[in-house]
Structure 1
Amino acid sequence: MSRQIFQLRVALADVTPEVWRRVLVPGGYTLDRVHRVFQCAMGWQDCHLHSFDINGTQYGEPDPDGELTFRDELETRLDAVATKGARFLYTYDFGDWWEHEVAVEDVFGADPEERYPLCAGGAGACPPEDVGGPFGYRQFLAAWVDPGHPEHESMRSWLGRAFEPTDFDVDRASTLVRRLS
C-alpha cells in the first residue's frame, strides 16, 4: 500500500492581501512535523508557541507548568485526526494570534517519483514576525506603502529589509519544506 499524501490549503485568517499555501504532507507525519511544514511554507521563523484545534481538541507541545492543556502533538499523526474535506485551525504566536484555517483538500497515494513534503502553491508574503497580529499587520502595511504616513520610516527601519505584501516564491518555499524530509 502506498503512503497517503494529504493536500492541505493553509490560509492566514483576517489578512489582506490573502496569504495562503498548498502543501502536500505524508499522512503519517505527526502534528509536530506538520507544524514545521507550515512554518517553512508560510515563512514564519518558529520562535513562538503554536497549537492545532482539530475537532475541538487542542494539540501542541505539552506545557511542563500545566497551564496549557494540549494533547501531545508528538503522539498524534495527521491521518489519525483528519480526513478529506476536514477543516481545522493552526494558531501560531499566542501574543499576535495568527490563526491559520486549514482545509484537507485531498488525500491520495504518494507518487513514487516525488519527494514529500512539498509546497505546491500559494500567494502573498508572510507578515513579519512580531508585527502585532492581523490588526498590527494592517497598520504596518498602511505605513509601509505610504511615504507620507507618519510611521513610514520607523516601520521600514524596524523591519530592516525589503517587503512586498504580494510576493511569494513557491520554489523557495518548496525547497525549505523539502529540507524537513
Structure 2
Amino acid sequence: MANVKRIKSDNLFQLKITLNHIKPPIWRRVLVDSDIKLPDLHKIIQTVMGWTNSHLHQFIIGNRYYSLPDDESFCKVVDYRRIKLDSLFNTPKSKFIYEYDFGDGWEHSIVIEKILPREKNTYYPICIDGKRSCPPEDCGGAFGYENLITIINNPEHEEYNEMMEWLGDYFAPEEFNIDEVNEFLSEKNFGCIELFD
C-alpha cells in the first residue's frame, strides 16, 4: 500500500457545489475546514444553497452512501456522524454527490477544487461565490422547477396567480445574496435549522 500523506487540519477545501439538472446552473463556491465532519458539511450545504433542512439527505461517495443510519433505508448506509471529509479525500479535483429530498431528488455535484492554507483571523466556513437562487422546497425537483420558472415568467399563464400565491411574497430566481449567506454561516449550526442531523 502506498504511503499517503495526510492533509493537516489547518487546511481548507475549496468546494464547488452545483445543483444538477438545472440550466443555467445554480452553484456555490465555499471554503470549509478540511477536517469538517459530514453532518456539519450537510448543514453548510443547506445554508449556502438556501434549502430549509426539511427532508432527508445523504452523501454518495464512490458506491457508498453516508448519512444517519435508518432502519427503513433501501441500501446500506454508513453512519456519517464521526466521519471527517479529509478522511475520505486528500487531493484536489475529487468529486462526490450530496442528495437532498429523496422525493424531489435534488442532486448536488461537489468538487474539491483546491486545497488551501487557513488564513489567520478568518472565520470558516465562508461562501466566496455563487449564482442564482435556490429552487423553492417541494416544487417537484428539476422538472417541476423548470415548469415553475416557465409559469412565473408568463403573467398570462393560467397557473400564474396560483403559483405566485404558493411562492409567497418574493422569489427572484436569478438573485444570490452572498452577504446574507455568510451572515447565516456565522450563526449556530451554520445557520441551518435543526430538523434532521
**Which range, TM-score by smaller chain?**
over 0.9
State the one-letter code of the partner of 1:155: M
Q: Aligned to 1:100, what secondary structure does the other structure show?
A: strand
Partner of 1:102: 110
The answer for unaligned runs of 5 or more in structure 2 is 1-7, 191-197
Q: Note if contact 2:9-2:35 (Cα within 8 Å) is conserved in structure 1.
A: no
Q: What TM-score does the superposition give when structure 2 sets the normalisation length? A: 0.87
Question: What is the rounded CA distance, in whole Å, between the counterparts of 1:52 and 1:24 in structure 2?
Answer: 18
When the two structures are superposed, what TM-score results if normalisation uses the length of structure 1? Answer: 0.95
Candidates 20, 39, 43, aligned match of 2:27:
20
Whether the 8 Å CA contact 1:44–1:129 is kept in 2: the answer is yes
**Contact kept? 1:17, 1:165, Cα under 8 Å:** no
Which consecutive aligned stretches of 4+ in structure 1 deviate over 3 angstroms post-superposition?
64-68
Check the 8 A contact 2:98/2:108 in 1, yes or no.
yes
Query: C-alpha separation between the residues in 1 aligned to 2:164 and 2:182?
Result: 28
AA at the equivalent of 1:34: L
1:69 positional shift: 2.2
Does residue 9 in structure 1 map to residue 16 in structure 2? Answer: yes
Percent identity (aligned) = 36
Q: Decide whether aligned partners of structure 1 residues 166 and 78 sit closer, same or farther in structure 2, where only a CA change above 3 A counts.
A: same
When the two chains are superposed, the root-mean-square deviation of aligned CA atoms in Å is 1.4
Unaligned runs of 5+ in 1: none
- Contact 2:16/2:28 (<8 A) preserved: yes
User: How many residue pairs end up in the alignment?
Assistant: 181
Q: Match for residue 124 of structure 1?
A: 132
* Partner Cα distance (1:65, 1:90) in 2: 19
| 1:70 correspondence with 2:72 | no
Aligned equivalent of 1:165: 173
Which residue identity lines up with residue 15 of structure 1 in the other structure?
A: I
Residue deviations 1:9-60 (CA, integer Å, cap 9, x gap): 0000111232100111111111110000000000000010011111221101
Question: Does 2:154 align with 1:146?
Answer: yes
Aligned pairs for 1:38-49 within 5 A:
38-49=45-56
* Aligned-partner residue type, residue 122 of structure 1: G
Task: Tell me if structure 1 keeps the 8 A contact 2:68–2:77.
Answer: yes
Match of 2:43 among 31, 36, 42: 36
